[in-house]
Amino acid sequence: EIEGGDSNTSRTSQVPTTNTKVKMAEPTKTFPKKEAALAAGSSEKVVAKAFKEGGKKGVEIEGAADTSGLTCFCTRMQSSDGDIKLLEAAMEGMNAVPDPEEPEERKGCSGHIAKLIISENEKAGKIAMVAYVPEDMKDKLNAIEWMKAVCETELGGGVGGAPDDSSTDVWATCTAVEDKENFFFLKMKDNTLSAAIAYLREKGLFQDDESDDEGDNAAADFEW
């Protein structure tokens, strides 16, 4: 099974190129997705946990991008519990630009990487997904189309759901719900990540050992 990049935390120290990009960008001051999760009824502690996980994962992705050249990333998040508002807050944490004057450890920093993140709630039989595409990648990847490809996949029995009406070309959301007739939670869970990566392969945005290109490919060694 393809998993997130938790094992690559140590790589985040090797990011000289990306650090320059962060210094050029203005630090993120407002967090509307985080505020929306609070307004939806989640506690400050729960929202902070989801946002923090996103921030830590963002730095890992930044490091992986610098060492492997990847431009897109898909992973599961553990702290959002299948809640789309919490997952959006996690994505916001991933993309946040830190203030270089703050003494805290760096978090976020991956706003230049396209991402599709997933959170499951087995008890409720639902899977939340958020897709994000940087503005300068819009000509290569569309967040709504990426999300639709996951929802409509035929892999292993499919996933189900559809992009929410509020979705845009750069930010798409969906909550797929088990119906026990057409879509079963465990199969949906297995299929989401594989379908998201399969779409990237079709678009030529994911190089791995299945690629035809010759030569070493550092991205193929990154554990997703």
Q: Encode the chain (224 residues) as per-residue pLDDT tens digits.
A: 334 333 333 333 333 344 444 345 788 888 999 999 999 999 999 999 999 999 999 999 998 888 888 899 999 999 999 999 999 999 999 999 987 777 677 788 899 999 999 999 999 999 999 999 999 999 999 999 999 999 999 988 889 999 999 999 999 999 999 987 888 888 999 999 999 999 999 999 986 654 444 434 334 333 44
User: At CA 79, angle to CA 165 and CA 195, rounded to 5?
Assistant: 55
Q: What gap in Å lies between CA 105 and CA 56, rounded to an integer?
A: 9
Residue 80: predicted pLDDT: 96
Residue 209: predicted pLDDT: 52
* Plot region of 55 (φ>0 → left; ψ -120 to 50 → alpha; else → beta): alpha
Phi/psi for 34 (5° steps) reads -65, -45
Q: Hey, what's the torsion of the CAs at 35, 37, 42, 43, to 10 degrees?
A: -30
Exposed / middle / buried, residue 26 (Cβ in 10 Å: 0-12, 13-18, 19+): exposed
Statement: the pTM of the whole predicted model exceeds 0.75? yes
Name, in order, each residue with C-beta under 8 angstroms of 142's C-beta and a sequence gap of 6 or more: 133, 169
- Residue 47's Cβ-side half-sphere holds a number of Cα atoms within 13 Å equal to 18
Residue 207: predicted pLDDT: 64
Q: What gap in Å lies between CA 215 and CA 208, rounded to an integer?
A: 11
Q: What gap in Å lies between CA 110 and CA 96, rounded to an integer?
A: 8
Strand, helix or coil at 172?
strand
User: At CA 132, angle to CA 129 and CA 136, rounded to 5?
Assistant: 165
Q: What gap in Å lies between CA 77 and CA 52, rounded to an integer?
A: 11
